[in-house]
């Protein structure tokens, strides 16, 4: 049964993501605006979470005539940009929104249905041209087939950055090697303080520039990728190429596509993307790679070696330090 969330208190990012992970959920959305080249639509409605997409049901004001459903082959000019507010508090955006594909009318009000592959939870900090390149890179990253990088149209040059971080969640992934863990400190008014630890982390170096960590999170797995201190990055596209290679290596080791459920990308403290995808879990396929025959230390070293090797083959890592 689908649950409709509309809380008396303000919903934050963390709570929204937890609800999306549960699937079969609807959220109230208001102040929705979808801008196309030939029309602008405003209204309110619901955002439904399906297994492989978000579905927006947009209710237009009474007596507003909706645009016709386009026929034939769609071109880029047929797609639009969307913004709105989830549960009165959480701003969201979506780019490359296709035209509506279903239209219903009730008491003079039209409701249009849109399917969205992903949404952004924060305003984008780059111009439209740069964001378009980032979006296409993310679409290649999340596609079922591996694609080689393509030449994008040049945008205005970015300033070199010395702090780059990626973090996100992979649904349905199990850590296959560990070389570190988490220490948990509990304080109880009667029993006092107690400490426990668990081996739930694999981390290491990808190159002289980049380091990573994979951390168990229940039935899922967090990933973290960051530029090392003293190194620099010239372009966001270079950072995304590293992320792409890293996640392809993770997918190879685990035998399933590494499609980020959530993805945050920060560059010198500026949030580039805060992206949420539908909660679909990629299917595992049989793989000849197994860590069961190794001890924990050897398994960790093997895992790290595979990641480094496959990333190096896919990405021209820079070896230029900051002066």
Q: Mark whether 248 and 292 lie in a shared domain.
A: yes
Q: Mark whether 220 and 266 lie in a shared domain.
A: yes
Residue carrying the six token digits 């303000």:
10
Contact by Cβ (8 Å): 55, 48: yes
Q: Mark whether 72 and 212 lie in a shared domain.
A: no
Q: Mark whether 168 and 213 lie in a shared domain.
A: yes
Of 66-75, 176-185, 220-229, 287-296, minimum mean pLDDT range:
287-296
The backbone torsions φ and ψ at residue 76, rounded to the nearest 5 degrees and listed phi first, read: -60, -35
Q: Mark whether 140 and 173 lie in a shared domain.
A: yes
Q: Mark whether 16 and 113 lie in a shared domain.
A: yes
Whether 45 is covered by a domain: the verdict is yes
Whether 320 is covered by a domain: the verdict is no
Q: Mark whether 113 and 199 lie in a shared domain.
A: no
Whether 187 is covered by a domain: the verdict is yes
Confidence of residue 243 (pLDDT cuts 50, 70, 90): very high
| Structure confidence by residue, pLDDT tens digits, 123-152 | 544 444 455 556 666 666 655 444 444 444
Q: What percent of the chain has pLDDT over 90?
A: 48
Note the pLDDT of residue 318.
42
Q: Mark whether 137 and 228 lie in a shared domain.
A: yes
Note the pLDDT of residue 118.
93
Q: Mark whether 112 and 246 lie in a shared domain.
A: no
Whether 155 is covered by a domain: the verdict is no
Angle at 41 between CA 75 and CA 62, to 5 degrees: 140
Residue 53 reports pLDDT greater than 90: yes
Whether 30 is covered by a domain: the verdict is yes
Split into its structural domains, the chain has a count of: 2
Distance, CA of 214 to CA of 147 (rounded, Å): 24
Contact by Cβ (8 Å): 170, 202: no
Distance, CA of 301 to CA of 111 (rounded, Å): 55
Distance, CA of 183 to CA of 203 (rounded, Å): 16
Whether 276 is covered by a domain: the verdict is yes
Residue 5 reports pLDDT greater than 90: no
Task: Provide the residue range defining the domain that includes 63.
Answer: 3-120
């Amino acid at each position: 049964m689908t649950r409709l969330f509309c809380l008396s208190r303000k919903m934050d990012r963390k709570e929204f993501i937890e609800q999306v992970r549960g699937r079969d959920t609807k959220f109230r959305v208001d102040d929705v605006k979808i801008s196309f080249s030939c029309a602008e639509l405003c209204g309110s409605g619901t955002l439904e979470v399906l297994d492989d997409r978000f579905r927006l049901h947009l209710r237009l004001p009474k007596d507003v005539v909706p645009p016709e459903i386009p026929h034939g082959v769609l071109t880029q000019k047929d797609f639009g940009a969307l913004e709105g507010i989830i549960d009165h508090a959480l701003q969201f955006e979506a780019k490359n929104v296709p035209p509506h594909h279903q239209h219903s009318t009730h008491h003079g009000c039209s409701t249009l249905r849109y399917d969205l592959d992903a949404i952004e939870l924060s305003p984008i900090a780059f111009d439209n041209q740069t964001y378009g390149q980032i979006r296409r890179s993310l679409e290649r990253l999340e596609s079922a087939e591996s694609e080689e990088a393509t030449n994008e149209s040049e945008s205005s040059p970015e300033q070199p950055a010395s702090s780059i971080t990626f973090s996100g969640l992979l649904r349905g992934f199990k850590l296959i090697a560990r070389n570190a863990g988490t220490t948990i400190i509990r304080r109880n008014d009667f029993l006092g303080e107690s400490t426990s630890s668990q081996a739930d982390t694999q981390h290491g170096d990808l190159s002289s520039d980049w380091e990573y960590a994979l951390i168990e999170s229940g039935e899922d797995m967090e990933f973290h990728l960051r530029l090392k201190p003293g190194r620099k990055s010239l372009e966001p596209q270079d950072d995304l190429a590293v992320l792409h290679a890293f996640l392809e290596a993770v997918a190879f080791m685990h035998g399933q596509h590494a499609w980020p459920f959530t993805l945050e990308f920060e560059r010198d403290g500026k949030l580039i993307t805060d992206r949420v995808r539908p909660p679909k879990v990629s299917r595992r396929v049989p793989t000849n790679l197994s860590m069961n025959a190794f001890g924990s230390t050897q398994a960790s070293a093997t895992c790290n070696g595979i990641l480094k090797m496959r990333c190096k083959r896919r990405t021209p890592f820079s070896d230029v330090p900051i002066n």
